[in-house]
Amino acid sequence: MKAILSCANTRHFIAFASGMMRLVQRQRVEKYRSHSQLSYIILCRRPTRGDIWLLYETGGAFCLLFLLRTVAQENLRTALQYVVVFMTTQVFALCFTAVVYRASPFHPLAKFPGPFLNKITSLKIALTVASGRRYSIIEKLHKKYGPFLRTGPNTISINLHQAVGPIYASSSAWNKSAAYSLGQLPGAGLFFIRDREAHNFRKRHYWAGAFTSNALSDNYFMLNCRTNFLLDALARRSQGLRGVVDVSTALQHWSHDVTGEFIFGDAYSKNLLRDGDRRGEVAVAIFEMEVFEVLGEVPSLFDVLWYLPLTRIFRAMDVSAERLLALRRSQASQKRNLAYYLLKGGGNSIPSLSDVDLRQETIVAVQAGTNGISTALTFALYYLTRNPKKCEILRDELQLAFPDADPDGSLDPQILGTLPYLNAVVEESLRLGAPLGSFPRVTGKGGAMIAGTYIPEGTIVGVPAWAQNVSEDNFSPSPTSFLPERWLRNEDTPDMCTRSSAMMTFSHGPFGCIGKPLAYQEMRIVISKIVLAYSFSFPVEFNTEIFEDGVRNLRATSFSMPLLLELDRLR
């Protein structure tokens, strides 16, 4: 028996030794076709699926147990002990070898600085993401280590504006990483399509029609009505004589109502602003994005956990999406909402989306159209409240543009689009109201040069969105201060640096957010109506430091302390 176990261990360690020799010779990992495949699974910078690896390991354990029982004639207890010892030794050896290699000078990313734990395991960055403070932690690490930062065994963060163009903005932008793989979930929504060409095809033939100027104009009446519901809800939700309102929650409800009707039209009959979120839809949507964001940093672990109850959250929105799609189909409506274009497709030569893909697309649209815009609006009102003089400048501009306007009426979107200070407030709110991490991409064949530095093929690369949004190289002076004036080109701001191409709120290029024009339209109308309708201030109990410290982002942004405002009706 000892001879058998010793022989097995010897063969295994010979595989490791062989693999390490090839690493030294080639300075990168190659796919082995020999018996050293287990070494490859751990050491390769592009590991196999976690569930497949677990299946191999479990199968190997059962095979060993079978051999010990049938060939070596060991009793069950002894055989199990040998299996446990062997498998523990194997896993330890694999992990030890992986750590040594990833931290060694032979790793292709050895020249990039970063914390030691980040170099040897993806679990460290996953924990950073789970804290909700990745956006600020990565910014601080860049200040310590420089513009190139190794955040994982095969992951680089590049805090340089020069990196935005080749990685995101060019027509040959890099494909998305495995962080966008939703475990074993069937179907694919636009956000989770990793290939650039496949993504462009889906966006062009199924999504683009809903975001043309004409389509957005057709939806403006709905947007105006829903925003009037918001004004009414703010009045109803006032607490006590001082009129204190939880504005952040109201904006979340508003965003779900607007997005639901934008997608499904009349099939969406909910009114969270009026009835409240009785089913916890906002919390479910946020939690789903948070789980995805954390597990996306360790795709192999995601593959394993996919079979556990934890990931049932990814099916939570399926029932609602299926019901609304079925109702939308039964209405046979010609109203040009997003579901109309998804169901219609790109024409006779373009295949229709499957039911599974349709369901995923509508869920993607809900996720994309709710938390991001409600967060940006929350920050807009927060900064306007902290800066009352800037709020007065904005109110004066709006009153001059709409002298006799009733906030409950309709504000001309064409006029709103021409108001300089309003649009400056919108831009600054989107810049400071997006505490995002990065949008990970994969370096293509042959690698790439970024700012004179070679990035090896297959490396996962991202530009930290928040760090770019508050970089002094891109926005100065005072990059973390709310200064709408930085977006105005006049003689009062000659020394201000405002590099709009560096703003990463919507990403850039082929994978950029298709809903950007809708988001700007929503920002303008909500900010304008609230500023015209109300004066607002912080209640005595509201602490701005606690509010800012309580901001957490795991793709979705949440607030430990809600934004509370005292509202007084003006019109």
pLDDT of residue 43: 45
pLDDT of residue 7: 40
Confidence category of residue 35, pLDDT binned at 50, 70, 90: very low
**44 closest CA partner among 153, 206, 187, 199:** 153
- pLDDT, tens digit, 9 for 90 and up, residues 251-294: 999 999 999 999 999 999 999 999 999 888 899 889 888 888 88
pLDDT of residue 18: 44
Q: 22-38 as b/e, with b when 16 or more CB fall inside 10 Å?
A: bbeeeeebeebeeebeb
Quote the pTM value. 0.87
Residues 6 or more apart from 495 whose CB is under 8 A from it?
A: 477
Topology of domain 178-569 in CATH is Cytochrome p450 (1.10.630)
pLDDT of residue 1: 43
The residue behind tokens 């192999």 is: 300
Residue 221, CA atoms < 13 Å, CB-side half-sphere: 7
**pLDDT at 463 > cutoff 80:** yes
- pLDDT, tens digit, 9 for 90 and up, residues 400-439: 999 887 877 889 999 999 999 999 999 999 999 999 999 9
Determine the straight-line distance between the first and last CA of the chain, rounded to whole angstroms.
89
Residue 497 marked ligand-binding? no
- Alpha-carbon distance of 328 to 430, in angstroms, equals 33
pLDDT of residue 346: 67
Angle in degrees, CA 382, 386, 388, rounded to 5 = 115
Confidence category of residue 24, pLDDT binned at 50, 70, 90: very low
**pLDDT at 458 > cutoff 80:** yes
Residue 355: how many other CB atoms lie within 10 Å: 12
pLDDT of residue 200: 95
pLDDT of residue 45: 45
